[in-house]
Amino acid sequence: MTTIFKNLVDVLHMVVFRVVRVDLSTQKITEEVYKEDLVRRFLGGRGLASYLALKEIPRGIDPYSPSNKLYIFAGPLSGLATLATSRITVVTKSPLTGSLTHTNAGGNFAYMLRKAGYEGIIVEGKAEEPVYILIKEGEVSIRPAKHIWGKWTGAATKALLEDAGFEGDERKAGVATIGPAGENLSRIAGIRFSDYERFAGRGGAGAVMGSKRLKGIVVWGTRDLYSLVVDRRRWIEESGKLAQRLANAGTSKALHTYGTNLLMNIINAVGGLPTRNFETGYFEEAEKISGEHIKQNYVAEVHGCAQCPIACTQMVEVKSGPYKFIGKAKYEYESTWSLGANLGNGNPEAVLKLIKLANELGFDTISLGNTLATAIELAKKGKLNIPLEWGDPAPLIDLVYKMAYRDGIGDDLAEGDYRLAMKYGEPEAFVGSRGQGFPAYDPRALKGFALSYVTANRGGDHLEAYSPTWEVLGVPEKVDPLCESPECIKKQVKLVVYAQHLMALSDSVTFCKFDTLDKDGLFERDLAHLFNVGFGWDVTPEELLTIGERIFNVERLFHVKEGRWVKDELPPRLRKEIPTGPAKGHSAVKMFEEGIKEYYAARGWVDGKPTYETLRRLGLEEFQHLL
């Protein structure tokens, strides 16, 4: 795109999506511009990336094929407001699930990418030797990275910055990189983003980077993002009001104080904390690994992503003992659960050591914990010949190393929990959907997840619709998490569908989902106001939710195209009653079996597939041939 056209776009305040496409096989670099009509249909981020993936990724290819693509996209509001808008979304064909995945991270990458002159990066092909991509003030180059290949993610981030001319603090530029887990094609490898230890974890996108011999991406620029809005002064004023409201929200303040792990005691108290691979929903040692305990004993620093008024990041240290480590680690509720309660591990220092190791080696901590839990279960059943026990973290340290380098039994575990359970003849040991394990909430106690987990397009996911928002926090309305009356099932279906559309918007705009956890948070009415003020649109809140619905249907069509994971299924373990804790006696069967019928009716789907009428209503006629 010429400088003249770029300037014309800025002057006219056209909402376009600038993308650089990098073919690592041919070393060809091209610029593409998606015009406002397409942006108004899919926005950016997850939405536009999923649409392009459906159109461009050939059916049936191996995710490690050069034909697979990585879409690394920001959104039209990314970096434009202090509303937690520096979120980056990665979309690709997942090596873990064999179908579409989207995965999201905070930090400063989305902000810096836009400052560098682009909204997105598309990577295709495969380099002959390790490389990294540098985007600096709109100039794009492919650089050798053989000297960086093999480094852990922290050292790799530093080396990439130095090679690109940015020594010192990693906040100086945006960096994406992988560790040994991605280089060695572990199907549960994530992508680390800068400032600090932020991960686009789920679905194995890090392994796709590794398959392309792409060690990292560095982005930096000085573009004035406020030049993109119609009225700079009014934009700053209106977005500033929303930022102040968000910062003052009760949930925001709690997240700032304790981070996401404030949830540990809360979820355990309702009997929804999956323990020992979903054996039960109550962990007797939850207090030891709670946000309150870790805050008091291990948190050394609190900070936030770029453009965020919440600042929930908690950096921890373990300075002595058998689980000490060098430097700080970013820890979260999901990581603490997956490597804690999920393994029967109540030792906080062991949990934090495992998190640090996972971050440095480049694993998705949720899938790592799920895989280790599956391995422990298999070992206890005599199926896996390694000495593992619930609540004994010591042997897990070495096992995680082996997974990253595919050494010995680590080669099997690097394939992830689904393949591990299937290989050793214990399919019930996998607790998830679409080949991806479930996160830190038991759907038998938080029944909205009995619908949202199984219908999540990327599989085993809590972020496509986060039911504690209404079951615990009462936003937008309170629903009893254990209620299974016909009225409660209808409410759960309505809220799951609504949340799936709102979260698709969140990942496409892009802004953090924590913005939606409080009644004083950021919702479709606020987004409509921002788009109208910033870009002169006339969009309504209802129209924005329809965009979210369109995105969700596009993702489901990828499964239809691949001919896999179309059916929404409840894993066998969740058909059993919880044996202990506050939700004792509850299963997920009724909510799933009765709710899924209501869900399909609400969506205009039949047996997990959109109908012709639904595609026409959403303006997706171009994909009707897939049905």
Phi (first) and psi of residue 485, to 5 degrees = -70, 160
Judgement on whether residues 36 and 138 belong to the same structural domain of the protein: yes
Comparing CA positions, the residue from 246, 12, 216 lying closest to residue 121 is 216
Cβ atoms 164, 170 nearer than 8 A:
no
Judgement on whether residues 465 and 569 belong to the same structural domain of the protein: yes
- Among 401, 436, 471, residue at a domain's last position: 436
Q: What is the distance of C-alpha 531 from the center of its chain? A: 24
Q: What gap in Å lies between CA 489 and CA 450, rounded to an integer? A: 11
Strand partners, 214: 131
**526 found inside a domain:** no
Q: Is it the case that residue 70 has pLDDT exceeding 60?
A: yes
Rg of the Cα atoms in the chain: 23
Judgement on whether residues 455 and 379 belong to the same structural domain of the protein: no
Judgement on whether residues 315 and 394 belong to the same structural domain of the protein: yes
Residue 8: per-residue pLDDT: 42
pLDDT band at 1 (very low <50, low <70, confident <90, very high): very low
Residue range of the domain that includes 391? 261-436
**385 found inside a domain:** yes
Judgement on whether residues 321 and 424 belong to the same structural domain of the protein: yes
129-159 residue pLDDT tens: 999 999 999 999 999 999 999 999 999 999 9
pLDDT band at 195 (very low <50, low <70, confident <90, very high): confident
Cβ atoms 67, 139 nearer than 8 A:
no
Judgement on whether residues 113 and 53 belong to the same structural domain of the protein: yes
Mapped onto helix, strand or coil, the DSSP state of residue 376 is: helix
372-397 residue pLDDT tens: 999 999 999 999 999 999 999 999 99
166-180, 223-237, 479-493, 509-523: least confidently modelled range: 166-180
The mean pLDDT value for 209-225 works out to 98
**Helix, strand, coil in percent for the chain, rounding step 5:** 45, 15, 40
Judgement on whether residues 183 and 283 belong to the same structural domain of the protein: no
Residue 13: per-residue pLDDT: 54
Q: What gap in Å lies between CA 200 and CA 312, rounded to an integer? A: 17
DSSP per residue over 173-204, as a string?
Answer: SEEEE--HHHHTT-TTB-EEETTTTEEE-TTS
* Pairing outcome for strands 17-23 and 120-124: parallel
**302 found inside a domain:** yes
**255 found inside a domain:** no
The mean pLDDT value for 407-425 works out to 99
Q: What gap in Å lies between CA 552 and CA 158, rounded to an integer? A: 37
Cβ atoms 458, 448 nearer than 8 A:
no
Share of the chain above pLDDT 90, in %: 96
Residue 87: per-residue pLDDT: 98
- Among 436, 452, 467, residue at a domain's last position: 436
Cβ atoms 77, 89 nearer than 8 A:
no
Residue 359: per-residue pLDDT: 98
The structural domain count of the chain equals 3
Report the phi/psi class of residue 481: left, alpha or beta, with left for phi > 0 and alpha for psi in -120 to 50.
alpha
The amino acid at residue 166 is F
Q: Supply the CATH number for residue 577's domain.
A: 1.10.599.10
Residue 172: per-residue pLDDT: 87
pLDDT band at 310 (very low <50, low <70, confident <90, very high): very high
**233 found inside a domain:** no
71-115 residue pLDDT tens: 999 999 999 999 999 999 999 999 999 999 999 999 999 999 999
Mapped onto helix, strand or coil, the DSSP state of residue 18 is: strand
pTM of the model: 0.97
**Helices in 189-249 by DSSP H: which ranges?**
205-211, 232-248
Q: Is it the case that residue 171 has pLDDT exceeding 80?
A: no
Q: What gap in Å lies between CA 350 and CA 322, rounded to an integer? A: 8
Residue 11: per-residue pLDDT: 44
Comparing CA positions, the residue from 374, 354, 376, 358 lying closest to residue 419 is 374
Judgement on whether residues 180 and 268 belong to the same structural domain of the protein: no
Comparing CA positions, the residue from 493, 506, 504 lying closest to residue 449 is 493
- What's the mean per-residue pLDDT of the chain? 96
Residue 196: per-residue pLDDT: 87
pLDDT band at 14 (very low <50, low <70, confident <90, very high): low
The mean pLDDT value for 594-617 works out to 98
Cβ atoms 496, 465 nearer than 8 A:
yes
pLDDT band at 5 (very low <50, low <70, confident <90, very high): very low
Phi (first) and psi of residue 191, to 5 degrees = -115, 125
Q: Supply the CATH number for residue 385's domain.
A: 1.10.569.10
Share of the chain above pLDDT 70, in %: 98
551-568 residue pLDDT tens: 999 999 999 999 999 999
**251 found inside a domain:** no
**534 found inside a domain:** no
Judgement on whether residues 207 and 274 belong to the same structural domain of the protein: no
Q: What gap in Å lies between CA 291 and CA 613, rounded to an integer? A: 48
Q: Is it the case that residue 9 has pLDDT exceeding 60?
A: no
- Among 178, 205, 228, residue at a domain's last position: 228
Judgement on whether residues 217 and 340 belong to the same structural domain of the protein: no
Residue 464: per-residue pLDDT: 97
Judgement on whether residues 419 and 556 belong to the same structural domain of the protein: no
**535 found inside a domain:** no
Q: Supply the CATH number for residue 66's domain.
A: 3.60.9.10
5-9, 431-435, 611-615: least confidently modelled range: 5-9
Judgement on whether residues 190 and 67 belong to the same structural domain of the protein: yes
